[in-house]
Amino acid sequence: MDETATALVELGAVIFALGVLGRLANRVGMSPIPLYLLGGLAFGQGGLFPLGETSEFSHLASELGVVLLLLLLGLEYTASELVTGLRRSWMAGVVDIVLNATPGVVMAYVLGWGSVGALALGGVTYISSSGIVAKVLTDLGRLGNRETPVVLSILVFEDLTMAVYLPVLTGVLGGVGLIGGLQTVGIALLTITVVLVVALRYGRQVSAIVHSEHREVFLLQLLGAALLVAGVASALQVSAAVGAFMLGIAISGSTARSAAKLLEPLRDLFAAMFFVVFGFNTDPTLIPPVLGAAVVLAVITTATKVATGWWAASRQGVRKLGRARAGAALVARGEFSIVIAGLAVVAGAVDDQLAALATAYVLLMAIIGPVAARVVEPTVNLVTRVRNAGRDRFPDTMA
C-alpha cells in the first residue's frame, strides 16, 4: 500500500481501538485515561504494534486535544466564580501546593534530574484531574453534597495556578534566563488579569461574537476562535492550553452551555488522541526502572491529597465523613499531569525517564482516584461502627 493508504489504515485501527478501550472502561466503571495510555504504549516506539505513518497527524490531533480539554474546562466556570473560588480557597490552595508538589520535587532531585526536572515533576504530582474528579462526583451522585464546593474550589485554584505555572515551565524549558522568566510570568499574569476583567465586564459581548443559532456556524466560529487564541497565547509564551482555558472563561451563560454540549464529542476524540500520542512517545522499556518511584509517589500523594481535602473541608465545618470524601475525590491525576510531562519531554530539557515515570504515575493515580472515592464512604462507616461497638462493649476502656 502507498503511504496515504497505510496512514488511513493505521489511523482507523488506532481510533477503533480507542473506541474499544473506552467501551471497556465504561463497562467496568473506570476512567478511560489509563487504557488510552496503555494503548499508546502498545502502538508506539518499543511497543507491540509500532505505527509509522500517522505521527504527523496524531501530533497535531493531540495538540488540538489539549486545546479542547482546556477550553471546555474554562466553559465550566464564569469569571465571577473563579474570583469567588480564589478568595474562598486560597489557603487550601497553598496547602495543596506544598503537600502535593513537594513529593515530586524531592523525587526529581533524588533521581538526579535537577531543578528543571523538579519543576516539571512537582507539577505532575500536584495537579488533580478535573475531568476524572467531575465524572466521579457525578457518577456517585455527590454534586449536591456539602463537601463538593470545597473540592470544586480547590480545583479552581489548581486551574488558576496552572495558568501561571505552565508559562513559567515553558519559559524554563526553553532555556530563558531570569529576566526572560520574569517577563514570561509578567505576560501570563497580565493576560489572566485582562481576560478576567474582559470576562467580568464584557462576557455577553464575547459570547455574542462566537454564538450562532446554526450549529455548523457556531462550531466553526467557536473552534476557530479557540485555535486563534491558543496560537496567539503560544506566540506570547503563555501556553496554548491556558489561552484556550481563558477563552472558555470569557464565554458565559447559555452560549457556554451550548458550546460545551457541542464540543464534547470532539473533545473526547482529540483528548483520547492526546493520551495515545503521549503513550506513543514513551518507551515502555523505560517504565520498569522507574516503577518503584511511581509507586512511592502514588502512595505519598494519595495521602497528601486526602489530607488536603480533609483540612479544607474541616475549615468549612464539614463533618468527618464529608472530609474523607473531599480528600478521596481529589486523589486522581490525569490530563494536566500528562500535559506537563509532555511539554517537558518535547522540549528535550529533562531526562527521557520523566515521561515513563509520569505515565506509570498517572496510570496508577487514574485508577486509585476513582476507587478511593468509591470505597471511602463504606470504609469510614465501617470504622465508625467498629468504634461504636467497642465503646458499647468496653465503655470504660474506650473512654
Q: Does residue 89 have a pLDDT over 80?
A: no
The single-letter DSSP state of residue 285 is G
Give the model's confidence band at 310: pLDDT under 50 very low, under 70 low, under 90 confident, else very high. Answer: very high
Estimate the crossing angle of helix 55-75 against helix 130-139, to 10 degrees: 60
**Torsional class of 114: left (φ above 0), alpha (ψ -120 to 50), beta (otherwise):** left
Per-residue model confidence (pLDDT) at position 326: 92
Higher-confidence residue of 307 and 339: namely 307
Indicate the pLDDT class of residue 355, thresholds 50, 70 and 90: confident
Instruction: Summarize the confidence of residues 109-116 as an average pLDDT.
Output: 90
Q: Is residue 398 part of a domain?
A: no
pLDDT exceeds cutoff 70 at 272: yes
Task: Tell me the per-residue pLDDT of 273-301, one tens digit each, with 9 for 90 and over.
Answer: 777 777 776 777 878 899 999 999 999 99
Higher pLDDT, residue 313 or 204: 313
Computed over every residue of the chain, the mean pLDDT equals 80
Mean pLDDT score, 185-206:
73
Q: What are phi and psi of 122, to 5 degrees?
A: -60, -40
Segment holding 92, helix H or strand E: helix 79-110
> How far apart are alpha carbons 285 and 16 in whole angstroms?
25
CB contact set of 320 (below 8 Å; sequence gap of 6+): 380
Q: Which of 14, 49, 43 is nearest to 279 (CA)?
A: 43
pLDDT over 70 at 207, yes or no: yes
- The whole-number pLDDT of residue 265 equals 82
**147, 384 contact by CB (below 8 A):** no
pLDDT score, position 127: 92
Kindly state whether residue 355 falls inside one of the protein's structural domains. yes
Contact between residue 222 and residue 74 where contact means Cβ atoms under 8 Å apart: no
Residue 18's pLDDT is 81
**Is there a contact between 275 and 37 (Cβ–Cβ < 8 Å)?**
yes
Residue 392, in any domain of the structure: no
Highest mean pLDDT among 57-66, 116-125, 202-211, 225-234: 116-125
Provide the strand spans (E) within the chain.
Answer: none
Digit-coded pLDDT (tens) for 116-173: 899 999 999 999 987 778 777 777 778 778 888 888 788 878 877 877 787 778 777 7
Of 186, 338, 170, whose CA–CA distance to 239 is shortest?
170
* Predicted confidence (pLDDT) at residue 398 exceeds the cutoff of 60: no
- Given a contact cutoff of 8 angstroms between Cβ atoms, the answer to whether 304 and 368 are in contact is no
pLDDT at residue 57 in the model: 65
Mean per-residue pLDDT, 64-91 = 74
Residue 278 · residue 37 · CB < 8 Å: yes
User: What average pLDDT does the segment 356-360 reach?
Assistant: 88
Is residue 197 scored above 80 in pLDDT? no
Q: pLDDT band for position 1 (50/70/90)?
A: low
Query: What is the pLDDT, as a whole number, of residue 10?
Result: 75
The torsion angles phi and psi of 330, rounded to 5 degrees, stand at -90, -5
Which CATH number fits the domain that encloses residue 259? Answer: 1.20.1530.20
Residue 67 located in a structural domain: yes
> What pLDDT, on a 0 to 100 scale, did the predictor assign at position 383?
79
CA-nearest of 368, 286, 329 to 47 is: 286
Task: Give the dihedral of Cα atoms 345, 347, 348, 349; nearest 10 deg.
Answer: -100
Q: Are 338 and 360 in contact (CB under 8 A)?
A: no
- In this structure, of 26-30, 151-155, 239-243, 354-358, the range with the lowest mean pLDDT score is 239-243
For residue 281, being part of any structural domain is answered with: yes
| pLDDT over 80 (residue 42) | no
pLDDT value of residue 223: 87
Give residue-wise pLDDT tens across range 311-335. Answer: 999 988 888 889 999 999 999 887 7
Domain boundaries, position 184: 3-387
Q: Provide the pLDDT for residue 367.
A: 83
Q: Is residue 395 part of a domain?
A: no
Helix 178-210 × helix 79-110 angle, to 10°: 140
Residue 393 counted as domain residue: no
- Write down the pTM of the prediction: 0.73
Instruction: Name the percent of the chain lying above pLDDT 90.
Output: 17
The number of domains in the chain is: 1
Region for 240 from its dihedrals, namely left if φ exceeds 0, alpha if ψ lies in -120 to 50, beta otherwise: alpha
Q: Give the whole-angstrom CA distance, residue 209 versus residue 177.
A: 39
**Half-sphere exposure of residue 302: CA atoms within 13 angstroms, side-chain side:** 19
Helix 130-139 vs helix 148-173: crossing angle, to nearest 10: 160
State yes or no: pLDDT of 210 exceeds 80. yes
Q: Is residue 249 over pLDDT 90?
A: no
Q: Measuring CA to CA, which residue among 82, 335, 68 is closest to residue 192?
A: 82
Residue 399 lies in a domain: no
Give one word for 45, left, alpha or beta, with left for phi > 0 and alpha for psi -120 to 50: beta
Task: Return the pLDDT at 14.
Answer: 78
Helix (H, G, I), strand (E, B) or coil at 1: coil
More confident residue, 80 or 320: 320
Q: Please report, in angstroms and rounded to a whole number, the separation of the first and last CA atoms in the chain.
A: 79
Q: What is the pLDDT of residue 44?
A: 66
Region 358-386: what's the mean pLDDT? Answer: 85
